[in-house]
Amino acid sequence: MIHLVTVATHSERYLPVLDQQSKDKNMTLVKLAVGKKYTGHFMKDLEMLDYLKSSSVNDEDIVVFVDGFDTLLLANKKEIIEKFKSFDCDILLSIENVGSLSFIHSAVFQKVKGKFINTGLYMGYAKALKDFLQEMYTQEFDKSSNQKTWANYLEKKNDYSRIALDSNSDIFLNYSFTTTNKIISKNKRVYLDESIPCFIQGNGCEDLSKIIKNTGYKDYDIHNDKRTFKVIENNLKAVLHIYPIIALYISLIIFVIIIISLFIYNIYKNYKDKHFYIYL
């Protein structure tokens, strides 16, 4: 059995689309923490842990976690299960193929086996995930970033015998302006050079409207009128809280522009003074 799980305190962004996609592919999107106050990304892990401990999940079940506000489902459960089993692992983590901005990413996030993992997309056998989360959260964890919690724990434990990274995005694709993935959307799927992902997550409120339209779910994209505000809100939050180093770079760029402008103005002013004439 396969479980598709998310943490969604309310309905936002792509959640209605994901919900309908799940129904059309004979899967139920399990929504955890509905009506609760969101206290941080670590809450997703703790809610997931409680779900894995519940009687509705058997140890041998396959459980997929997705960030419900940002993710679209593109494949049926048969394809997802077959691809997962081809990894021959107990837990599969998604990664972000960060490009030229990796120096900014590196200043904020720790790598796992040389890659940036994304805790918004992962899957595994229920018992393995339960043991993994339980052991990780009995130790000290970072309340401001569960990515740091996962990365620190994984690198400290240094045991990847049954944990795999989806480096080619065979199942999970994290997509944003910071990633190097070149996608083609056609025939109701998203294609990469070497793979056809089963899920795509638009990190940082990335606009997935074209993909939603191409896959035939435009009518379920009911929060599209609020998307621009969410993008602005998310970018401000990223600059001020997640990537404060960006604010530093922006400040330096503005400072350089001001210095260059003053320098050019000074040259221009001196030139005008030297060529000033009085006509009678």
pLDDT of res. 111: 84
Establish if 260 belongs to a structural domain: no
Q: Which residue has the higher pLDDT, 115 or 65?
A: 65
Residue 168, domain extent? 2-223
pLDDT of residue 275: 55
Summarised one tens digit per residue, pLDDT across range 253-279 is: 787 888 888 778 677 667 666 655 555
For residue 173, what are the β-bridge partners? Answer: 200
pLDDT of residue 142 exceeding 80: yes
48 occurs within a structural domain: yes
In a domain, 242, yes or no: no
Q: Has residue 231 been placed in a domain?
A: no
* Residue pLDDT, tens place only, 212-248: 999 999 999 988 876 666 666 666 555 555 555 555 5
Report the CATH number at residue 85.
3.90.550.10
pLDDT at 53 over 60: yes
Per-residue model confidence (pLDDT) at position 106: 62
In this prediction, residues 28-48 reach a mean pLDDT of 95
> Would the pTM of this model clear 0.85, i.e. be above it?
no
With a cut of 70, say whether residue 139 has pLDDT above it. yes
In a domain, 232, yes or no: no
In this prediction, residues 42-69 reach a mean pLDDT of 96
The label of the residue with tokens 């969604």 reads 8
pLDDT of 151-196, one tens digit each? Answer: 999 999 999 999 999 999 999 999 987 777 888 888 889 999 889 9
- pLDDT single digits (tens) 60-90: 999 999 999 999 999 999 999 999 999 999 9
Q: How confident is the model at residue 280 (pLDDT cuts 50, 70, 90)?
A: very low
180 is a domain residue: yes
Instruction: Please give the tally of structural domains in the chain.
Output: 1
Residue 244 confidence (pLDDT): 53
Is residue 59 one of the residues assigned to a domain?
yes
Q: Within a domain: residue 278?
A: no
Q: Which of 275, 271, 274 is nearest to 263 (CA)?
A: 271
